[in-house]
Structure 1
Amino acid sequence: MRETTEVKHYRKRKLLPVVEYYDEIRRMGCFTLQDFSRMVGERSMVAYMINEYQRNGYIERIHRNLYTAMDIETGRPMLSRYQIGSRLFPDAYVSHYSAFEVWGYAPRLLDEVYVAAETRFTDFRYNGIFYRRVNPKAESDKERVSGCLVTSLEQTVVDSINNFEKIVGLEAVVECIMRLPKLDVDRLLQCLEKYGNGYLYQKCGYVMEQLQEYVDLPERFYRECREHCASTVRYMIKEAEGLVYHKGWGIYAPVLIGNRDERVDA
């Protein structure tokens, strides 16, 4: 059977240096097969070249249809764990404790990255890091830091207090908040308003008041939180021992640090 022109051209291209597109791949950092196909311009070459780049250590597959450029000298990905996390999907961004890490205010680094995305994916491990999906918040306050999309400090505080039991626990969140620079109170209140959750106002008001000597928030923040607090008494940590009732917030919670007035032992 006579060879087609396409197959002849394919075999001819196989003789070209495999590093032909490496600089462009390094510039992209992460890419999909569609990205690579647009760069190469020939669909017939994509599968072959991807296999060759992987075989030679120029790229690695991260997850499904996502690849990362590799540093051929160190053998490690060109992008950080956070940059990878924020590029898993077009709508992805780094959040919760991982956002504190990106901003540089986490006391320790975890071997996992919390990725908020509407696109659903199964948690997976790549290069020793576990990438975990969390539900995104509509109109989440985000910024671009160190080459990745990440929640603002104010959004990170609110998200982390809201989900501390599902993420790293209250103690770890408190450690991060104690290290933060002065927060923008208006952005903080806007983040709370987007949730529209009375219980979250209770939790945030209580936690930040306990840490007032560190966060130095104006009284209007606490006043606003109290105006939106849920009317029911809540337990901040379910089935935990040693909780104390804080009547100013109508909440049973662990004693943190800072102001310990207006409390009644449970």
Structure 2
Amino acid sequence: MEKNIPKVKKEVRNVNVYTELAKYPVFSIEDVKKLTGNEKTAYSQMDRLIKKGLVKKIRKNIYSVVNPTTGQVVATRYQIACAITDTAYISHHSAFEYYGLANQVYYEVYVSSENKFNHFEYDNVTYKYVASRMQDGVVEAKNTTGVRMTDLERTVVDSIRDFNKIGGFEELLNCLEGIHYLDEKKLKNYLSIYDTQGLYQRVGYLLDHYKKEMQLSKEFIDYCKSKIGKSRRYLVSDLKEESYYNNEWELMVPEGLFEINQGGDILV
């Protein structure tokens, strides 16, 4: 009888660890170590919970509790993304998705980070590294634990800056159309940090089109215009042959850029 007592105690401790871990969407082995008291016990507890199907390993040192109803981890793609490194946050099209502005939900999550990591796939979603260019404009989600993302203004600037690599131009316009307010002070701050004439051109030209919906002033548009220099650039590099010259912005712009057909496709 006495021999069974330690086993019972161990099972109770297992349940307590699982109950504590279930409070967090994602956790590391260090978090388990804090609950068990030592590393060896932490690893054995994790092995046991994984074998029982109560916990899944997402990637090295990132774990999540399993929802028994669905058999899937409780962590969302955004919580997983923000656990990849200590400086990770969602950005670009993934931030638009989080804000409910994306026309399409991608099977890719764009993760900006100061610490580089290798792209990886989990549950048919690819987590892609993007080098973090600044610390400004990263905010904590209000209603979701463990999610950090770029604020709306920085998401707009980043997405216009990088649409050739991330998201594509058509989807960018779809996202911009749903925005009803942007803070000009924040926009100016992010533009000044990047400080490139081509970005002032692209941001100024596109936001000039949406200025009424986004409640942007003529002063802001003029501010962008004052920073563009005299170099002629292409708005969309893939559409050079279909582009015409816009002398106001010194920009080569695709024909029929903002004409949308009923199916939602851009007529370019």
TM-score bin (small chain) = 0.7 to 0.9
**Contiguous gaps of at least 5 residues in structure 2:** 1-5, 260-268
Partner of 2:225: 226
1:1-266 to 2 correspondences below 5 Å:
15-17=10-12, 18-145=14-141, 146-147=143-144, 148-240=147-239, 241-254=241-254, 255-257=256-258
Runs of 4+ in 1 over 6 A off after TM superposition: none
In the alignment, the residues of structure 2 paired with residue 174 and residue 14 of structure 1 have an alpha-carbon distance, to the nearest angstrom, of 59
Residue identity opposite 1:247 in structure 2: N
8 Å contact kept, 1:30–1:66: yes
Partner of 1:8: none
CA deviation string 1:156-177 (max 9, x = no partner): 0000000001101111011101
Give how far 1:93 is off: 0.4
Residue identity opposite 1:141 in structure 2: G
Give how far 1:201 is off: 0.4
Partner SS for 2:128:
strand
Residue identity opposite 1:20 in structure 2: N
8 Å contact kept, 1:210–1:256: no
CA deviation string 1:30-66 (max 9, x = no partner): 1111121122112221221111111112211112121
Indicate how the Cα distance of structure 1 residues 232 and 41 shifts in structure 2: closer, same or farther if over 3 A, else same: same
In the alignment, the residues of structure 2 paired with residue 64 and residue 94 of structure 1 have an alpha-carbon distance, to the nearest angstrom, of 19
In the alignment, the residues of structure 2 paired with residue 92 and residue 212 of structure 1 have an alpha-carbon distance, to the nearest angstrom, of 31
CA deviation string 1:89-108 (max 9, x = no partner): 11000100100111111122
Identical columns (%) = 29
Bigger Cα displacement from structure 2, 133-142 vs 197-206: 133-142
Indicate how the Cα distance of structure 1 residues 161 and 151 shifts in structure 2: closer, same or farther if over 3 A, else same: same
Partner SS for 2:226:
helix
Bigger Cα displacement from structure 2, 156-165 vs 12-21: 12-21
CA deviation string 1:180-199 (max 9, x = no partner): 12111111111111111111
Give how far 1:213 is off: 4.3
Partner SS for 1:16:
helix
Indicate how the Cα distance of structure 1 residues 13 and 224 shifts in structure 2: closer, same or farther if over 3 A, else same: farther
Residue identity opposite 2:57 in structure 1: R
In the alignment, the residues of structure 1 paired with residue 40 and residue 120 of structure 2 have an alpha-carbon distance, to the nearest angstrom, of 30
8 Å contact kept, 1:31–1:66: yes
In the alignment, the residues of structure 1 paired with residue 72 and residue 126 of structure 2 have an alpha-carbon distance, to the nearest angstrom, of 16
Residue identity opposite 2:150 in structure 1: T
Residue identity opposite 2:193 in structure 1: K
8 Å contact kept, 2:113–2:132: yes
Residue identity opposite 2:161 in structure 1: N
In the alignment, the residues of structure 2 paired with residue 71 and residue 239 of structure 1 have an alpha-carbon distance, to the nearest angstrom, of 44
In the alignment, the residues of structure 1 paired with residue 8 and residue 30 of structure 2 have an alpha-carbon distance, to the nearest angstrom, of 20
Partner SS for 1:249:
coil
In the alignment, the residues of structure 2 paired with residue 213 and residue 256 of structure 1 have an alpha-carbon distance, to the nearest angstrom, of 18
8 Å contact kept, 2:163–2:172: yes
Indicate how the Cα distance of structure 1 residues 34 and 187 shifts in structure 2: closer, same or farther if over 3 A, else same: same
8 Å contact kept, 2:89–2:112: yes
Give how far 1:205 is off: 0.5
* Paired residues, number: 249
| RMSD (Å) for aligned C-alpha atoms | 2.0
Partner SS for 2:205:
helix
